[in-house]
A and B are shown apart, each in its own frame.
Chain A
């Protein structure tokens, strides 16, 4: 049981380049999330998908877009990368609506550097 799988694990981009971070879960979870983690800032929510077919902005959505491709997959796209987007990105999933007490399951992260 792989849980939450993120690709790639590391990425270096130049300013202005674009890329897509991939996330897939095999737990039949309804809700999926993208967070970024920066030193001293904790985890900040970028976008989430409460259920297949829906996406919503989180705390820090500017500069990002997301796609809930199907129930398993939730991708995060940087259209024009900026140095301020240098961070560690985490994807997470949970059971979803009606299961507020269900914990989040996290992937191992993508370390992105924008030069």
Chain B
């Protein structure tokens, strides 16, 4: 079984500042890692995913995430945020082999103010 911990429930930041949203996971098997974003009153959409290869993954809207196997982390970063990045962000993991469902963290609300 897998579990995901998002260390911050809310992250307030000023526009044009950098941001990091933290995600740690636990799993006894190799996993794929995902970040999803949920804008107000909408469903979730994929931001980026780590499958294999380079540990730095680039996604949509200028976001990137770094996979760190030794620390079992997959932190999300953006060098300069916009007001429009205000949303809830979910980290998720899924086992690589067999069939398993996606396990989500509890989410981090990113609040960008002018």
Taking Cβ atoms with an 8 Å cutoff, the residues of A that contact B are 4, 33, 40-43, 45, 48, 50, 58, 90, 92, 97, 100-101, 103-104, 106-109
Contact = CB atoms under 8 A, between A and B. Distances in A.
Chain B at the A interface: mostly helix, strand, loop or mixed?
Answer: loop
A65 to B, nearest CB: 18
A41 B101 contact: no
A109 to B, nearest CB: 6
B32 interface: yes
Interface string B40-67: 0111111001010000000000000000
Contacts of A33: 101-102
A101 B51 contact: yes
Given A43-B44, A108-B42, 17 more contacts: A4-B43, A40-B106, A43-B90, A45-B101, A50-B99, A90-B44, A92-B43, A100-B97, A101-B94, A101-B96, A103-B46, A104-B46, A106-B43, A106-B44, A109-B41, A109-B42, A109-B43
B99 A106 contact: no
Chain A at the B interface: mostly helix, strand, loop or mixed?
Answer: loop
Among B44, B46, B51, B95: residue with most chain A CB under 10 A:
B44
A36 to B, nearest CB: 12
